[in-house]
Structure 1
């Protein structure tokens, strides 16, 4: 239950706005004017600072803000064996703009051969100093949803069942590697199950020739394969949202079509759920939440700088508690503040005010964090 182990009554998804000097250092490295060692030293310095800031406002779980990443998903997936990142004709399309033009393709057997993110986690672990270190990685479903059959080499995988099996096994090895490094709080960023709630997204999948019937169950099985065998004291959470780039979104639709499988067919411990506006639908799907699991209500938006009133947030928590026990709920922003290095359209001060607000509301509603 929240308060004794992750997720905590006040928590956050993971990514934070990048300091300007850090962005400049990363740009210099990309241009070849800064060494990898010098960039790592700069990242280390700012990550130490952001860990201290998270602790100072009262958060009990800390991340590195995803400061070493350009994208929340590509940076992890592109380092799996058999997966390549490439320059695409266009970026991921959002409502109002698109990301930098990159994509992923599977060129060989997917496998796990170690990952730099494990070293990145170890740095957070060594600097958490009493807080719980958390690592975020994309859900394995991301590798399928973005490109589907067209992005998977047909000679390596003439049938997609082999692709899903190898992907699940690679993720399982990654989870075990994180666990071996001392990780006890792992988050899978799972946007695609939320996308399956949007008829427009379903239509897009069908248009490119994907089989959508049973896709939810396939993703659930993939995630279960990934987390199978984790240590009993390792908390795995899932984050669900409908897209987050420069304060723009992709999808809409309530959780109703996926709720039963989401809560009862996937073997994770907690769910960070986007609930900051009408695109997320009602709290009614929370009625499927079983005992022993937690929903972190993403009722604070990371897309805009205006600060939510405490009274409004408390009313939203009360509304959610009509469908799931209050003791199984917590509060957080609905998404990260910088799913890509560009970040959302708000200030650093507004970001910290929102996180501080989550902490204060949690203390007032539950009496502790």
Structure 2
């Protein structure tokens, strides 16, 4: 039976990455966008906000700390637009998010692959360096979107056929760019990297697979392709770097996109994807049962996303312990950890809860993990 080294991530109490932006930071970003605040002044406010949020994570007792993604507008596009060969476009594709009150239409900027994909410079290098210098007791954790996210939203239609007449060359270049990014992060001292990948959760939803088919990609097998490409990106990873992936079904202003358990992707996901741990959303019935955890191999970990970030109401310890016990029927308790189901602020707007409610949820996770695993 595998056992977790408490010095290595994922940790028994962990979290996904993004955190609610403080009002001062939101105001500063708005003033900067309006031309009323210089880049240096914005940077100073970002730095101060990140120092505060790192202290908060360490004071709570979390073993990993992120910068809350405070320098980003969105969890993925700020990274993707820095890849060579990718341009920002305003397309007409609307994404429909759902919540208890109804639907939200979100029209994010799209992307166009109009040049050969390459890594110009290590992305988020300065942001990670600042985080590494700021943490004192916690492991600095960097989150970046997985390679799949460059393809999922627009598919082959977003790739210029004159640049990539053979789609396999696109995949080769994309994985090579990511491999260069991972190598560079290792050289910067990053030992905990998380690849955020909504597609591996979305593709459990038959309506998402149908959408992929309708646009000319193969919805039935796309997850296998994505797993292969992520593995290619990680093939030369540094020996001391722990890598996890996080999968959710959409997280924008407390709303979601897809439904369905992990059954469709679980076998390939757990047995083929070469990561150390899986952050998985399990906060409501849309996430399905714990049954897919039966595929978990002996040397990997699942971080159970049982605490929702979509609303402020605090879960009880008894509820969380019961859910952990249910999960342990399918995967050994020694291979399980606890976290929120997603970030608190995947985009700068954030979810519908307060900073105090966010802190209470993180504190609860630390306390329950201590009581369950010691």
Instruction: Classify the TM-score, shorter chain.
Output: over 0.9
Task: Please identify, of 190-199 and 82-91, the stretch whose mean Cα deviation from structure 2 is larger.
Answer: 82-91
Whether 2:227 is the aligned partner of 1:220: answer yes
Of residues 193-202 and 113-122 in structure 1, the stretch that sits farther from structure 2 once superposed is 113-122
Q: TM-score, normalised by structure 2?
A: 0.96
Partner of 1:27: 30
**In structure 1, what is the Cα distance between the partners aligned to 2:92 and 2:202?**
23
Question: 2:192 touches 2:243 (CA, 8 Å); kept in 1?
Answer: yes
Residue 12 of structure 2 is matched in structure 1 by 9
Matches of residues 182-197 of structure 1 in structure 2 within 5 Å? 182-197=189-204
CA contact (8 A) 1:11 1:61 kept: yes
- Out of 324, 327, 330, the position equivalent to 1:323 is 330
1:40 equivalent to 2:43? Answer yes
1:76 corresponding residue in structure 2: 79
Which of 37, 42, 54 does residue 51 from structure 1 map onto?
54
Indicate conservation of the 8 Å contact 1:80/1:111, yes or no: yes
Cα gap change, 1:90 to 1:212, in 2 (>3 Å): closer
Residue in structure 2 matched with residue 332 of structure 1 by the alignment:
339
Partner of 2:154, secondary structure, is helix
Name 2:373's counterpart in structure 1. Answer: 366
Tell me if 1:63 matches 2:66. Answer: yes
The count of residues paired between Structure 1 and Structure 2 equals: 367
1:130 has 2:137 as partner: yes
In structure 2, the gaps of 5 or more residues are: none
- Paired with 1:37 and 1:99, the residues of 2 have a C-alpha distance of 31
Give runs of ≥4 in structure 1 deviating > 4 Å. Answer: none
Query: Distance in 2 between the 1:232 and 1:102 partners?
Result: 36
Q: 2:160 aligned with 1:153, yes or no?
A: yes
1:234 equivalenced with 2:241 (yes/no): yes
Q: Deviations over 1:266-295 (max 9, x none)?
A: 100000000000011000110111111110
CA shift digits 1:58-88 (9 cap, x unpaired): 1010000000000101000000000011223
**Structure 1 Cα separation of the partners of residues 94 and 18 of structure 2:** 20
Q: Distance in 2 between matches of 1:92 and 1:38?
A: 34
Kept after mapping to 1: 8 A contact 2:58/2:137 = no
1:166 has 2:160 as partner: no
Is the contact between residue 125 and residue 133 of structure 1 (CA under 8 Å) also seen in structure 2?
yes
> Contact between 1:91 and 1:102, CA under 8 Å: does it hold in 2?
no
1:286 to 284, 287, 293: 293
**Separation (CA, whole Å) in 1 of partners of 2:95 and 2:244:** 25
Return the offset for 1:129.
1.2
Q: Does 1:244 align with 2:251?
A: yes
Tell whether 2:311 aligns with 1:296.
Answer: no
**Contact 2:147/2:178 (CA < 8 Å) preserved in 1?**
yes
Cα RMSD over matched residues? 1.0
Question: Equivalent residue for 1:353?
Answer: 360
